[in-house]
Amino acid sequence: MILRQLRDDPADTEAVREISDAAFGALTPDSTRVPTEAQAAFQRARAGHLAATDPQGCWLAVQDGAAIGFALSMRREGLWVLALTAVLPQYQGQGVGRLLLERAQEHGRGCLRGMITVSVDPAAARRYRRAGFTLHPTMRLSGQLDRSALRDTGELPVHRGNHTHLHLLDSIDRRLRDAAHGVDHELMLRHYDELLVVDTVTGTGYCYRDGGTVKLLAATTRHIATRLLREALAAVPEGAEAKVEWLTAEQEWAVDVGLDVGLTVENHGYLALRGMRPPAPYLPSGGFL
């Protein structure tokens, strides 16, 4: 087996998508779950984006000419983020994941802080704890929305966001987690359904939503975060399952919103952090954190 850098080309980005589907499909009890074409396109686009922005953070494990595993990581202003890693089920438990993680972590050398959203795979939790990360257990909110509980959305004005808000988004990121998402916002703007922004004299915040899922939320006050989350949930398409993930105990404001609008709360995965506490009020995305 060899490790080589991931390339921003269709063969490599498709390999990442296929390995992800196989590895995460094996983790979910309902293996009939088929990713939509939009989700597949996002997987490929994200792999290509990170291969281009962080070539030394993105690695492919190749055996007999075929890709069997990958790790996608990035460095953003002193924060190292592992966006995604997976190994084909038939090659798991043989040390491939450890080698990929070690190689990706070399890219994060010199970063004092690190962040990973961790799946329910116990092997993943073991790997990240062994790599020095603190595992913060997370909750997930999901279900059909009680729309009658969403009617009163409050006074704060919420606007649709776009490219003109990039500096604002980066400022909020720096305040919350000491590191902007920078170029990653451009990809999220292109692929996610909606960006919502609050920009008032009392504070600021933003939130991405894609279909029924709230993808990333950062705000300078809990009041603004709550308003953004309710507004994002109100925009979830009729009949779609709503989902908000990776809530550590610091995000009780979001748990309360979820309970108010009829969502179910359950344990699901971890937020693995190094050199930092969970940012708050903040909901990381599974994709760019």
> Considering the rule CB under 6 A, would residue 24 count as an interface residue with ligand COA?
yes
> Considering the rule CB under 6 A, would residue 95 count as an interface residue with ligand COA?
yes
CA dist., res. 9 & res. 203, Å (int): 41
Q: Are 169 and 161 in contact (CB under 8 A)?
A: yes
Q: Are 9 and 58 in contact (CB under 8 A)?
A: no
Q: Which among 113-121, 199-207, 224-232, 245-253 is the span making contact with ligand COA, rule CB under 6 A?
A: 113-121
* Residue-by-residue DSSP string for 211-270: TTEEEEEEESSHHHHHHHHHHHHHTSPTTPPEEEEEE-GGGHHHHHHHHHTTPEEEEEEE
Tokens found for residue 98: 């450890």
CA dist., res. 258 & res. 147, Å (int): 12
> Considering the rule CB under 6 A, would residue 21 count as an interface residue with ligand COA?
no
Nearer to ligand COA, 23 or 187 (CB): 23
> Considering the rule CB under 6 A, would residue 97 count as an interface residue with ligand COA?
yes
> Considering the rule CB under 6 A, would residue 78 count as an interface residue with ligand COA?
no
> Considering the rule CB under 6 A, would residue 219 count as an interface residue with ligand COA?
no
> Considering the rule CB under 6 A, would residue 279 count as an interface residue with ligand COA?
no
Q: Are 208 and 194 in contact (CB under 8 A)?
A: yes
> Considering the rule CB under 6 A, would residue 124 count as an interface residue with ligand COA?
yes
Pick from 4, 126, 160, 277 the residue near ligand COA by CB under 6 A.
126
Q: Which among 22-30, 143-151, 187-195, 237-245 is the span making contact with ligand COA, rule CB under 6 A?
A: 22-30
CB atoms within 10 A of CB 114: 22
- What is the smallest separation between the CB atom of 219 and ligand COA, expressed in angstroms? 25
CA dist., res. 132 & res. 50, Å (int): 24
- What is the smallest separation between the CB atom of 104 and ligand COA, expressed in angstroms? 11
Nearer to ligand COA, 119 or 226 (CB): 119
**3-state SS string over 153-169?**
CCCCCCEECCHHHHHHH
- What is the smallest separation between the CB atom of 196 and ligand COA, expressed in angstroms? 27
User: Interface with ligand COA by CB under 6 A: which residues?
Assistant: 23-24, 27, 85-87, 92-98, 118-119, 121-124, 126-127
